[in-house]
């Protein structure tokens, strides 16, 4: 009698386990088991990070999205989204969806820009295009594991300013119109401080010495005390030959106490004999 009870219990457990598996033949589920496949998908080009003119369609950039597998028997529909460091994607043109056809492994994505009508000088905005979803023809046989899901493009109204001069110090002045206290400094590519302007009087001055090696340097603003969250400012750059180059801008959502450090200028120094060239990008 005990053996009969044990056999009945064993049969019940076997039936319960069988019924709990999806798409597996059982007493109550005469389906067919379909194993799922992991599909890695992402950008596979090396075209990100380029600097393009906002209004030049010849500078449209082509990216590539690829599957890391053999071609699939179903089409793969990829959903894309765009964003920009200035909070708007005005002027950007890109497809919201692209399709990798069945039997193929990749598709091109073309991103271009038109003039948004806002004069921004050499200001650089970074546009990001990103993969946000992928559908494998409605099939449940595949699931996505994302690869490299985004690419960036730096966009500007005007190409960087190139200043040709002689060897010597380059002086920078920072000026603003309200009662805020703004500080500034120059750093090298490793974020080592070259010079600081931390005085309490209105206006700050810093110098990029002529003795520094060729490379990339940044001029950044550090608000110490703010009278307004939006502050107009002017940076003047004076080179050894006496020319002065102005760069105006506006701090937005400014807070004090050095809680922010806003990179305003990127300065690349290049020396060729007695000629020194500074290439300036304003952010």
Domains of the chain, each with CATH number or no CATH:
37-156 (2.60.40.2030), 161-282 (2.60.120.380)
Q: Average of pLDDT values for 63-89? A: 90
Structural element, H or E, at residue 15: helix 2-19
pLDDT at 120 over 70: no
Give the CA dihedral 113, 116, 121, 127, nearest 10 degrees.
Answer: -50
Global confidence as pTM: 0.53
Residue 268 pLDDT level (bands cut at 50, 70, 90): very high
Q: What's 123's DSSP letter?
A: B
- Asked whether the beta carbons of 154 and 281 are under 8 A apart, the reply is no
Residue 19 pLDDT level (bands cut at 50, 70, 90): very low
> Could you give the CA distance from residue 98 to residue 83 in angstroms, rounded to a whole number?
18
Q: Burial code of 67-85, b = ≥16 C-beta within 10 A, e = fewer?
A: beeeebebbbbbebeebbe
Residue 124 pLDDT level (bands cut at 50, 70, 90): confident
What is the predicted pLDDT for the residue at 177? 87
Q: What's 103's DSSP letter?
A: T
> Could you give the CA distance from residue 260 to residue 180 in angstroms, rounded to a whole number?
14
What is the predicted pLDDT for the residue at 275? 97
Q: Average of pLDDT values for 157-166? A: 84
> Could you give the CA distance from residue 223 to residue 200 in angstroms, rounded to a whole number?
12
pLDDT at 119 over 70: no
pLDDT at 154 over 90: no
pLDDT at 195 over 70: yes
For 12, phi and psi rounded to 5 degrees? -65, -45
214-260 residue pLDDT tens = 999 999 999 999 999 899 999 999 999 999 999 888 898 999 999 99
Phi-psi label, residue 243: left if phi above 0, alpha if psi -120 to 50, beta otherwise:
beta
What is the predicted pLDDT for the residue at 90? 64
Both structure tokens of 31: 């389906």
């Amino acid at each position: 009698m005990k053996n009969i009870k044990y056999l009945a219990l064993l049969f019940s457990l076997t039936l319960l386990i069988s019924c709990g598996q999806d798409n597996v033949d059982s007493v109550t589920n005469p389906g067919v088991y379909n194993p799922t496949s992991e599909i890695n998908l992402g950008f596979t080009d090396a075209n990100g990070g380029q600097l393009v003119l906002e209004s030049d369609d010849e500078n449209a950039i082509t990216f590539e999205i690829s599957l890391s597998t053999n071609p699939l028997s179903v089409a793969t529909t990829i959903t894309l989204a765009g964003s920009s460091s200035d909070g708007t994607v005005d002027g950007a043109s890109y497809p919201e969806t692209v399709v990798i056809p069945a039997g193929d492994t990749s598709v091109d994505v073309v991103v271009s820009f038109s003039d948004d009508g806002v004069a921004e000088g050499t200001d650089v905005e970074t546009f990001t295009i990103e993969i946000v979803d992928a559908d494998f023809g409605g099939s449940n046989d595949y699931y996505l594991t994302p690869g490299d899901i985004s690419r960036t493009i730096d966009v500007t109204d005007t190409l960087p300013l190139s200043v040709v001069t002689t060897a010597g110090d380059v002086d920078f002045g920072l000026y603003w119109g309200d009662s805020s206290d703004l500080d500034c400094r120059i750093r090298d590519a490793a974020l080592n401080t070259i010079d600081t302007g931390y005085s309490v009087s209105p206006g700050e001055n810093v110098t990029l010495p002529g003795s520094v090696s060729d490379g990339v340097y940044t001029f950044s603003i550090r608000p110490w005390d703010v009278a307004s969250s939006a502050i107009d400012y002017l940076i003047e750059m004076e080179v050894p030959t006496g020319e002065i180059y102005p760069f105006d801008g506006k701090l937005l959502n400014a807070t004090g106490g050095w809680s922010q450090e806003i990179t305003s200028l990127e300065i690349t120094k290049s020396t060729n004999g007695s000629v020194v060239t500074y290439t300036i990008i304003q952010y």
